[in-house]
Structure 1
Amino acid sequence: MGKDKGQYSFSTCWNIKRHNVGSSMIDEIRELGFRYVELNYNVTQELLSTIEPMIERGEIGVSSVHNTFPHVADPDYGTDSVLLGFEDEEKRKRAIKLLIGTAEYANRYGAKAVVVHPGEVPFDYNIDNELKKIYHEQGPDSSAYLKLWIEMLERRESLSEHYLQRIGNSLEDICDQIAAKGWDVSIGIETRSRCYQMPTLREAKSVFDRLKGAPVGLWYDFGHGMMMERMGLYDNARDMEAIKDNVVGIHIHETVGLSDHWCPYVHSGDMSYFDRFLPIIEAAPVKVYELKAACTPEEIEQSHELLLAKLSERKV
C-alpha cells in the first residue's frame, strides 16, 4: 500500500484499460494511497455501476470528472474535437448538453471540477502529427519544421479569435445553466497536447476576462504545456503569470521529449525544469496525477515523494 496521498487525486486513465470492473480499477488506485480519483472520459456506464456504490459508501472521493462523461463513442464529442466551437449550431448545442451532463455527474459525486477540452482551429489533416514527426526526425530548428510550423501558425492565428468567441459563447451558456441549477462545480478548460488545439495560456486568459465571476477557469495540464513549449506555441514561465489566479485544477505529469504522461522528475531525470510548476501545484484547488499505464507503483511513489520534498523546500 502506498503512503496516504492526502488531497492529491489520481486519474483512472492510468489503469482503465486493465479493468472490466470499475470497483477493481478504483481499488488498484486506492492501493497507491490515493483517497480521490478523477473519473476520465473512458469510464463507461458499466464501469460506473460498481464505482458509484464505493462513492456512496465514502470509500473513494471524486475530485473531478473529465468530459465527455460517461464515455460517448462519437468522435465529434471526443477529446480531439471542435466541441464548444462547432459552426454547426446543432452540434454545438449537443456539445453544451453533454458538458452539462458531465457537470451533473460531478455535482452528484461531490467533485469540484469538470475538465473539458474546449476546442480547436480545425485543419483538414492532423498537422500536429506531421510536425511531431519532423520534430523527431529533423529537429525543431530544421527548415522543414519551421516551414510547416509557420503554415500551421498562420492558419491558427487567423481563425483562433473566431473559434475562441464561439467557445466563450458556449461557456457562458454552460455557466449560466450551472448557476441556475445551484451546482458548486467549476469548468476547467484544459491546456492541450496538439498545436492547433485551444487554448494557449493567453487565449485562456481572454476567455476568463470575458467571463469574470463565472465558474470557469484553467485546467493546467503541465505535460501538455511542456510539449507546446517545446514545439514553439507558448512559454509557460512567461505566460503562467497571467493565468495563475484562474487555475481551478491541474494534471500533474511530465513530458520526455514530446511523449507525455510520465512521472515528474523520475522519467526525465531532469531535476529542475518541472520546478517552474511548483507554485501552481501549491495553489491549485484540485491536484490530479494523470499518468500512463507504463508508470509503475514504485515510480509513482518516488515521483510523489520528490514532489513533496520540493514543495516543502519552498516553505523553508
Structure 2
Amino acid sequence: MGKDKGIYSFSTCWNIKRHSAGSGMIDEIRELGFRNVELNYNVTQELLSTIEPMIERGEIGVSSVHNTFPHDPDPDYGTDSVLLGFEDEVKRQRAIELLIGSAEYANRYGAKAVVVHPGEVPFDYNIDQALKKIYHEQGPESPAYVKLWSEMLERRESLAERYLQRIGDSLEDICERIASKGWDVSIGIETRSRCYQMPTLREAKSVFDRLKGAPVGLWYDFGHGMMMERMGLYDNARDMEDIKDDVVGIHIHETVGLSDHWCPYVHSGDVDYFDRFLPIIAAAPVKVYELKAACKPDEIEQSHDMLLAKLASLEV
C-alpha cells in the first residue's frame, strides 16, 4: 500500500485499459494511497455501475470528471475535436449539452471540476503529427520544421479568434446553466497536446477576461505545456504569471522529449525543469496525477515524494 496521498487525486487513465470492472480499477488506485480519483473520459456507464456504490459508501472521493463523461464514442465530441467551437450550431449545442451532462455527474459525485478540451483550429490533416515526426527526425531548428511550423502558425493565428469567440459563447451558456442549477462545479479548459488545439495560455486568459466571475478557469496540464513549449507555441515561465490566478485544476505529469504522461523528475532525470510549475501546484484547488500505464507504483511513489520535498522547500 502506498503512503496516503492526502489531497492529491489520480486519474483513471493510468489503469482503465487493465480493468473490466470499475471497482477493481478504483481499488488498484487506492492501493497507491490515493483517496480521490479523476474519472476520465473513457469511463463507461458499465464501469460506473461498480464505482458509484464505492463513492456512495465514501470509499473513494471524486476530485473531477473529464468531459465527455461518461464515455461517448462519437469522435465529434471526443478529446480531439472542435467541440465548443463548432461552426455548425446543432453540433455546438450538442457539445454544450454533453458538457452540462458531465457537470451534472461532477455535482452528483461531489467533484469540484470538469476538465474539457475546448476546441481547436481544424486542419485537413494532422499537421501536429507531421511536425512531431520532423521534430524527432531532423530537430526543431531544421528548415523542414521551421517551414511547416510557420504554415501551421499562420493558419492557426488567422482563424483562432473566430474559434475562440465561439468557445467563449459556449462557455458563457454553460456557466449560466451551472449557476442557475446551483452546482458548485468549475469548468477547467485544458492546455492541450497538439499545436493546432486550443487554448494557449494567452488564449485562455482572453476567455477568462471575458467571463469574469463565471465558474470557469484553466486546467493546467503541465506535460502538454512542456510539449507546446518545446514545439514553439508558447513559453510557460513567461505566460503562467498572467494565468496563475485563473487555475482551477492541474494535471501533474512530465514530458520526456515529446512523449507525455511520465512521472515528474523520475523518468526525465531532470531535477530542475519541472520546478517552474511548483507554485502553480501549491496553489491549485484540484491536483490530479495523470500518468500513463507504463508508470510503475514505485516510480509514482518516488515521484510524489520528490514533489512533496520540493514543495516543502518552496515554503521555507
Tell whether the structures are fold-level matches, with TM greater than 0.5. Answer: yes
Partner of 1:130: 130
Cross-structure match for 1:211: 211
Residue number in structure 2 paired with 1:257: 257
Alignment partner, residue 60 of structure 2: 60
Q: CA deviation at 1:315?
A: 1.1
Give the alignment of 1:14-29 within 5 angstroms. Answer: 14-29=14-29
Residues 6-64 of structure 1, C-alpha deviations (whole Å, 9 max, x = no match): 00000000000000000000000000000000000000000000000000000000000
How is 1:107-118 mapped onto 2 (pairs within 5 angstroms)?
107-118=107-118
Query: Which residue number in structure 2 is paired with residue 39 of structure 1?
Result: 39
Q: 2:8: which partner in 1? A: 8
Q: Superposition pairs for residues 1-316 of structure 1, below 5 Å? A: 1-316=1-316
User: Deviation at 1:78?
Assistant: 0.2
Letter in 2 for 1:274: F
Q: Which amino acid aligns with 1:138?
A: Q
| Residues 96-141 of structure 1: CA deviation (Å, up to 9, x unaligned) | 0000000000000000000000000000000000000000000000
CA offsets 1:214-234 (integer angstroms, 9 cap, x no match):
000000000000000000000
Q: Give the AA of the match of 1:283.
A: A
Q: Tell me how far apart the structure 1 counterparts of residues 243 and 150 of structure 2 sit (CA, whole Å).
A: 26
C-alpha RMSD of matched pairs (Å) = 0.2
Q: What is the rounded CA distance, in whole Å, between the counterparts of 2:99 and 2:21 in structure 1?
A: 25
Q: Distance in 2 between matches of 1:88 and 1:3?
A: 49
CA distance in 2, matches of 1:93, 1:166: 11
In structure 2, what is the Cα distance between the partners aligned to 1:179 and 1:167?
18
Q: Distance in 1 between matches of 2:17 and 2:135?
A: 29
User: TM-score, structure 1 length as denominator?
Assistant: 1.00
SS at match of 1:233: coil
Cα displacement string for residues 116-175 of structure 1 (whole angstroms, at most 9, x for unaligned residues): 000000000000000000000000000000000000000000000000000000000000
> How many residues align structurally?
316
Task: Find the aligned partners of 1:298 and 1:256 in 2 and give their Cα distance.
Answer: 19
**Percentage identity across aligned positions?**
89
What amino acid is aligned across from residue 282 of structure 1 in structure 2? Answer: A
Q: Which amino acid aligns with 1:192?
A: R
* Uncovered stretches (5+) of structure 1, i.e. residues with no partner: none
Q: Which amino acid aligns with 1:108?
A: R
What amino acid is aligned across from residue 51 of structure 2 in structure 1? I
Work out the CA distance in 2 between the residues paired with 1:183 and 1:196: 32
Opposite residue 149 of structure 1, the aligned amino acid is: W
**1:161 aligned counterpart, secondary structure:** helix
**What is the CA–CA distance in structure 1 between the aligned matches of 2:85 and 2:71, rounded to whole Å?**
20
Alpha-carbon distance in structure 2 between the residues aligned to 1:242 and 1:190:
16
Cα deviation 1:163-191 (Å, max 9, x = unaligned): 00000000000000000000000000000
Structure 2: which 5+ residue stretches go unaligned?
none
Distance in 2, Cα, partners of 1:248 & 1:102: 16
In 2, distance between residues paired with 1:312 and 1:91? 47
Secondary structure at 1:90 match in 2: helix
SS across alignment from 1:245: helix
SS in 2 for 1:271: coil
Alpha-carbon distance in structure 2 between the residues aligned to 1:98 and 1:254: 30
Counterpart-to-counterpart distance in 1, 2:189 and 2:314 = 28
